[in-house]
Chain A
Amino acid sequence: MSHLTHFEVFLLFTILKIVVVLVITLTAVAYTVLLERKVLGRLQNRWGPSRVGPFGLLQPLVDGLKLFLKEDMMPLAVERPLFILAPIIALSCALISIAVVPFGAPTMVDGVDIFEIANVNIGLLVILGVTSIGVYGIALSGWSSNNKYSLFGSLRATAQVISYELALGLSLVGVVLRAGSLDLRTIVNSQAAHGALSWNIFGGFQFVAFFIYLMAAYAETNRSPFDLSEAESELVAGYHTEYSSMKFAMFFMAEYANMITVACVATLLFFGGASSPFGHIFDHFATGLVLSGIISVLWFVAKVFAFLLLYIWVRGTLPRFRYDQLMSFGWKFLLPVAMLNILATALALSYHS
């Protein structure tokens, strides 16, 4: 590629990375749905989808086809532009934040890092910012539907997301203090020294922060046990009651894409990102650039997969919170504990330095 300028190489690589990451994320979203249905099925002592393809593996394709072919209903009383805009906001915000996630060891090809779309030195803040914009998708969908159940669902969801955003952001401060940076690569590198022992959750003594993050993340993605916004028994289907066909599918995909993003962030911040849990002990087995790159991506994917399984396990196990319990849990328990964690981490760091 010697006849291309540096900028052209960068542009081509970036477009290629965006396309590949989008395709992989959307496929992962589709198969997370299948995984959830299968695992939930087994948790409830039944089979889950098993008819389409071997072990039901082609189920996501058929589901996608069904959603595409369904009639796109648009109720007459909706606020048309916002009704169409809301799922677009939800899905695009869910997909944008994956762009700053580094999902492999830094591997340079022609001066471009191939395992990260954009290396931003405030990567963590970008993810938080994009997530906070995603609230508009939920808020607008409920309001523009002109339906009381949708409005209730979206009010609940919006209030919940704004409340838990605080605890979520504060739980990450301890990690940021330890790494001294908001750059996701730097945060990962700060935990890569001794394998699992130096991960923030073990060696960094950030397990309190991790549990706060975990609970806030479940609330942030409107997942069970915090899925009051779509409580079927009281609100039909919450904020997407009036949506059908692909518009509904966009909300559905946004929820699962958000799950994947949250799992990625937890992996990066608390579980050492793409670094191996064995540290550098087995480094001499994979010396080549390609092999070590692939192995680091595999570690990352394995950790994210473990988080997705945990998500599904929690959904299959815990009952739903009541709304006042949810709010008092977020404001009166998670938030003070997160602040205490920041204080303790800051004191410990200043004592050691």
Chain B
Amino acid sequence: MQIALFIIFGLLAVAGALNLLFQRHPINSALSLVVVMMSLAVLYWSLGAEFLAAAQVIVYAGAIMVLFVFVVMLLNAGEEDRTHGSKIAYIAGIPGAAATFCLLSFVFLSERKQLGSTEIGGYLTNAVSNITEISHTLFTSLLLPFEVTSILILVAILGAVVLARKEL
């Protein structure tokens, strides 16, 4: 069952990612990205990280990508045209992507023992509450990085407000 879920949504994620590249229209590409994110959320869930899955859907698919789609709608962006630059990107990009894929799969396969493994669906028993664990880790051992990140985000918000204001 979990294997079937993994295969279905793994293939869906890959298909969505490829569709993102092949679609000519920005809205279709953005929607393919939503499909990728939702399939990733299902994969997280099948690994027992249900809070991460929900956060992925709410934050990425539900908020960030909606803003992307919103901006594309507002700017009324048309289909992209093939230019000289895109031809170069094709020639350099496809072998580059293939090489990166080969390199990554080589590393993962050869270092399999060191990376360790997990059982798909092994944590789906509701025995451990994800949220308790995450909040415990965040507010004890990872407190400093957590607070530093929140200050970074605060600075980014203030920067956005300053940039968006008409008169300074």
Q: Which residues of A contact B (CB under 8 A)?
A: 79, 82, 120-122, 125-126, 128-133, 135-136, 139-140, 142-143, 151, 154-155, 158-159, 162, 165, 181-182
Inter-chain contact total with CB atoms closer than 8 Å: 69
Could you tell me if A122 and B130 are in contact, using CB atoms closer than 8 angstroms? yes
Interface of B is mostly: helix
Closest to A182 in B: B131
Could you tell me if B74 and A155 are in contact, using CB atoms closer than 8 angstroms? yes
Which residues of chain B come closer than 8 Å to A182, judged between CB atoms?
A: 131
Partner of A139, one of B58, B66, B126: B66
Query: Nearest chain B CB to A151's CB is how many angstroms away?
Result: 7
Which residues of chain A come closer than 8 Å to B55, judged between CB atoms?
A: 125
- 11 more CB-based (< 8 A) A-B contacts, given A128-B54, A136-B66: A82-B27, A121-B129, A122-B50, A129-B57, A129-B58, A132-B63, A133-B57, A139-B73, A143-B27, A162-B66, A182-B131
**Which of A125, A154, A159, A165 is most buried by chain B, counting CB atoms within 10 A of its CB?**
A125
Could you tell me if B70 and A155 are in contact, using CB atoms closer than 8 angstroms? yes
Could you tell me if B66 and A121 are in contact, using CB atoms closer than 8 angstroms? no
Q: Which residues of B contact A (CB under 8 A)?
A: 27, 31, 34, 38, 50-51, 54-55, 57-58, 61-63, 66-67, 69-70, 73-74, 126, 129-131
Query: Nearest chain B CB to A159's CB is how many angstroms away?
Result: 8
Which residues of chain A come closer than 8 Å to B34, judged between CB atoms?
A: 136
Could you tell me if B54 and A122 are in contact, using CB atoms closer than 8 angstroms? yes
Which residues of chain B come closer than 8 Å to A136, judged between CB atoms?
A: 31, 34, 66, 69
Closest to A135 in B: B66
Partner of A158, one of B38, B51, B70: B70
Could you tell me if B62 and A155 are in contact, using CB atoms closer than 8 angstroms? no
Partner of B63, one of A126, A155, A162: A162
Q: How far is the CA of A307 from the CA of B69 in the complex (A)?
A: 33
A-B contact pairs, 6 of them (CB 8 A): A79-B27, A129-B57, A129-B62, A139-B69, A140-B31, A142-B73
**Given A132-B63, A133-B62, A122 and B69 contact (CB-CB distance below 8 Å):** no
Which residues of chain A come closer than 8 Å to B50, judged between CB atoms?
A: 120-122
Closest to A161 in B: B66
Closest to B57 in A: A129
Closest to A7 in B: B1
**Given A133-B61, A155-B73, A122 and B66 contact (CB-CB distance below 8 Å):** no
Could you tell me if B58 and A128 are in contact, using CB atoms closer than 8 angstroms? yes
Q: How far is the CA of A51 from the CA of B55 in the complex (A)?
A: 49
Q: How far is the CA of A182 from the CA of B135 in the complex (A)?
A: 13
Which residues of chain B come closer than 8 Å to A130, judged between CB atoms?
A: 57
Q: How far is the CA of A125 from the CA of B58 in the complex (A)?
A: 8
Query: Nearest chain A CB to B12's CB is how many angstroms away?
Result: 15
